[in-house]
Amino acid sequence: MSDTYQEWASRVPGAVLWTSSPDPGGPGRPVLPDGCMDLIWSEGRLFVAGPDTLAHHTGVDRGRRFAGIRFAPGTAPAYLGVPAHELRDRRVELTDLWRGVDARRLTERIDAAVDPAAELEAAAVRIAGAAPPPDPLLAHVVAALDAGRSVRETAEAAGLNARALHRRSLAAFGYGPKTLARVLRLQRALALARAGVPFAETAARAGFTDQAHLARDVRDLTGLTLTRLV
């Protein structure tokens, strides 16, 4: 048996809803850095997965059901009311971020739902609707970096100096723009490689110097080889 994982577009703009039922005896699916933050339910728990700088392995929770909503980069801090850098590389119970009674009631409601993923999404829609909208400038920053623009070019296009862009990136994404660019480049490379593009061509199209550079970055960020990930 292998992990059962599904994802689909959420009613929260730019977000993805997903479910997972890991196989207790399987090798597991590493969670790779992607610039996002997730609100995750798992059988009596409701917690936030902060932005990762390295692959995260979920072995201790294998065998449990999960449902999560993955917010687009830069949006979760506005919805949840906490700067992203405070949650970097962490999994934090929602009771530690919100009033305990509110978080517990929400967890109980999702626990009791026939479809926990749908109830989680409904909660996320309410949370997003009640929060100030994310700064639209952040979406432009993500788009520019994901298109391979340099940090300098991205800052200039956003009308910011490098220091201001770094400060706003820490709060929105959990790390500076250079790290975000590296994470987005990794995701571009994985998408190409999984689509069957040869690794050398993947490296060139994703913005790496060469295939060796791609291999080093993949291993640094995930602890695995590109072949293993694909």
pLDDT digits (tens, 9 = 90+) for 28-41: 678 999 999 999 99
Answer with the one of 130, 151, 178 that is the final residue of a domain: 130
All residues at 6 or more sequence positions from 133 whose CB lies less than 8 Å from its CB, including other chains: 78
Per-residue confidence band for 25, with pLDDT thresholds at 50, 70 and 90: low
User: Are 97 and 149 within one domain?
Assistant: no
User: Are 48 and 93 within one domain?
Assistant: yes
What CATH number is given to the structural domain containing 52? Answer: 2.60.120
What average pLDDT does the chain have?
92
> Which of 98 and 121 is assigned the larger pLDDT?
121
> Which of 99 and 16 is assigned the larger pLDDT?
16
**pLDDT computed for residue 101 by the predictor:** 85
As given in the structure block, the two tokens for residue 225 are 């080889």
pLDDT digits (tens, 9 = 90+) for 53-108: 999 877 655 568 899 999 999 999 999 999 999 999 999 999 999 877 889 999 99
User: Are 170 and 95 within one domain?
Assistant: no
User: Are 111 and 153 within one domain?
Assistant: no
Radius of gyration of the chain, Cα coordinates, nearest whole angstrom: 18
What residues make up the domain containing 208? 136-229
User: Are 122 and 143 within one domain?
Assistant: no
Task: Tell me the mean pLDDT in the region 204-210.
Answer: 97
Per-residue confidence band for 1, with pLDDT thresholds at 50, 70 and 90: very low
User: Are 119 and 145 within one domain?
Assistant: no
User: Are 122 and 178 within one domain?
Assistant: no
pLDDT digits (tens, 9 = 90+) for 154-172: 999 999 999 999 999 999 9
User: Are 219 and 106 within one domain?
Assistant: no
**pLDDT computed for residue 29 by the predictor:** 74
SS (H, E, C) the chain: CCCEEEEEECCCCCCEEEEEECCCCCCCCCECCCCCEEEEECCCCEEEECCCCCCECCHHHCCCCEEEEEECCCCHHHHHCCCHHHHCCCEEEHHHCCCHHHHHHHHHHHHHCCCHHHHHHHHHHHHHHHCCCCCHHHHHHHHHHHCCCCHHHHHHHHCCCHHHHHHHHHHHHCCCHHHHHHHHHHHHHHHHHHCCCCHHHHHHHHCCCCHHHHHHHHHHHHCCCHHHHC
User: Are 100 and 140 within one domain?
Assistant: no
- Number of independent structural domains in the chain: 2
User: Are 55 and 149 within one domain?
Assistant: no
User: Are 118 and 46 within one domain?
Assistant: yes
User: Are 74 and 154 within one domain?
Assistant: no
**pLDDT computed for residue 100 by the predictor:** 79
Task: Tell me the mean pLDDT in the region 131-141.
Answer: 93
> Which of 207 and 4 is assigned the larger pLDDT?
207
pLDDT above 90 as % of the chain:
84
